[in-house]
Amino acid sequence: MLSAFGRAFRTPDLRRKLLFTLGIITIFRLGAFIPSPGVNYQNVQQCLNTGDTSQGIYQLVNLFSGGALLQVSVFALGIMPYITASIIVQLLRVVIPRFQQLYEEGASGQSKLTQYTRYLTIALGLLNATTLVSLARSGQLLPGCNLPIIPDESIMTTILIIITLTAGTGLIMWMGELVTEKGVGNGMSLLIFTSIAASFPGSLGSIWESKGPGTFFTVLAVGLLTVALVVFVEQSQRRVPVQYAKRMIGRRTVGGTSTYIPIKVNMAGVVPVIFASSMLYLPGLISQFNQPAPGEQMAPWVEWINNNLTRGDHPIYMALYFAMIVFFTYFYVAITFNPEEVSDNMKKYGGFIPGIRAGKPTADYLQYVLSRITLPGALYLGFVALIPLVALVLINANQNFPFGGTSILIMVGVGLETVKQIDAQLQQRHYEGLLR
């Protein structure tokens, strides 16, 4: 493995791509610690050291920003607006026929969809920045902190912070696209990977300090076992065999090959976990804006939400989280994989599944296989996502527990994909790649 990495850096073209990627990642991490104009950096740090930041409504966004959100830095919003915009544009393909038509047009149509995603990212960044500044000024961003994060509450300062945060989102999006174009791997995914990996040392260090070496090494062993499980499931797939009939085109015989349709156990990736987390943040957000005035009694429904739907260690929260992940897994797979479209494409090029007639029987068979294989994938996502919540109950860890949930799914998925791309580029120049 070490010799393979040595070959990667000895190859001029690949070395240039790797160094460019590392440079962009370094700039991305530096931006997470540069405070926005008008923000009192000393007060923010004091609030982070004394306040409870593990139960905040923006915990997932803070994870994806590498801790930049709660510091109100220039990259506070991170890559989350782009992720949300990409998911929205992908879902709109089902609702808006024009979007589906652009998707089917190939590279030109997809570049148009990418342009729409960029515009929507800026719009969502502007909306999120306004919300973030509002929460920071009202003291709801960092619970339990009475120090002013934004001392100057003038209109000009507020507009300047909003513009800075939105510009930071645009810059992150641009850097991610640069990595995709000139570096190694998918730029957006690598930036998310970097943000999550940056929180690992702090999380492990807090477990060592608060729980001792015994709990630390137990967590490490469970973490390695979880990583092995995630790698095994992420690489698992159901291969549906496809046979292409021979055809005569002029004097040449075309076709007659055998291939397969790879249907992954986890076709939805980490999107259902993000959907479920976002939906469960809504009740907490609603209760935040319906707090009683001083001296008044809290409304019963707000009290019920605070007791049951804002605490990760509550059984109702866990059950809802698990059920929503299973639901969104089926929902997202149904949107992204269309058995009828796959069946029509196979029929167009003379392909068929052995023992299954072309056309509707093929689509029904693919739907049957998809529904059967999606169930274990949905249960797997639910169990992995519950690991941080179970750790919250057992060892009183916070919800940023490093081994489990969204973080481990993204890190393993991005890591595997990046290593495969480096290996493919190595094999273009050497017979022996990065993987054996």
pLDDT in 10s for each residue of the chain, 436 residues: 556 667 777 778 888 888 999 999 999 988 888 888 888 878 777 777 765 554 444 566 666 666 667 777 888 888 888 888 888 888 888 788 888 888 888 788 888 988 999 999 999 999 988 888 887 777 666 666 777 778 877 888 889 989 999 999 999 999 999 998 888 888 888 888 888 888 788 777 877 887 788 878 888 888 888 888 888 888 888 888 888 776 666 666 665 678 888 888 888 888 888 788 777 777 777 776 676 767 777 778 877 887 777 766 778 888 888 999 999 899 888 888 888 888 888 888 778 888 888 888 888 999 999 988 999 999 998 888 888 777 766 766 655 566 667 778 888 888 888 888 888 777 776 655 555 5
Verify that 298 and 217 share a domain, yes or no. yes
Verify that 174 and 206 share a domain, yes or no. no
Verify that 30 and 179 share a domain, yes or no. yes
Instruction: Please report which helix (H) or strand (E) contains residue 352, including its range.
Output: strand 351-352
Angle at the Cα of 403 from the Cα atoms of 392 and 276, rounded to 5 degrees? 70
pLDDT at residue 20, rounded to an integer: 92
265 is in which domain, residue-wise? Answer: 201-403
Burial group, residue 243, by CB count within 10 angstroms (0-12, 13-18, 19+) = middle
In a domain, 414, yes or no: no
In a domain, 423, yes or no: no
Inter-CA distances, 261 with 65, 255, 318, 364, Å:
36, 16, 35, 15
Angle at the Cα of 57 from the Cα atoms of 175 and 231, rounded to 5 degrees? 60
Q: How many CB atoms lie within 10 A of CB 307?
A: 11
Verify that 300 and 377 share a domain, yes or no. yes
In a domain, 411, yes or no: no
pLDDT at residue 36, rounded to an integer: 86
What's phi and psi for 312, nearest 5 deg?
Answer: -70, -20
The total number of structural domains in the chain stands at: 2
Verify that 193 and 228 share a domain, yes or no. no
Q: Residue 117 corresponds to which amino acid? A: T
pLDDT at residue 403, rounded to an integer: 66
Verify that 353 and 230 share a domain, yes or no. yes
Verify that 155 and 236 share a domain, yes or no. no
Verify that 170 and 248 share a domain, yes or no. no
Q: Where are the beta strands (DSSP E) in 119-276?
A: 237-244, 247-249, 252-254, 258-264
Do residues 8 and 434 make contact, with C-beta atoms less than 8 angstroms apart?
Answer: yes
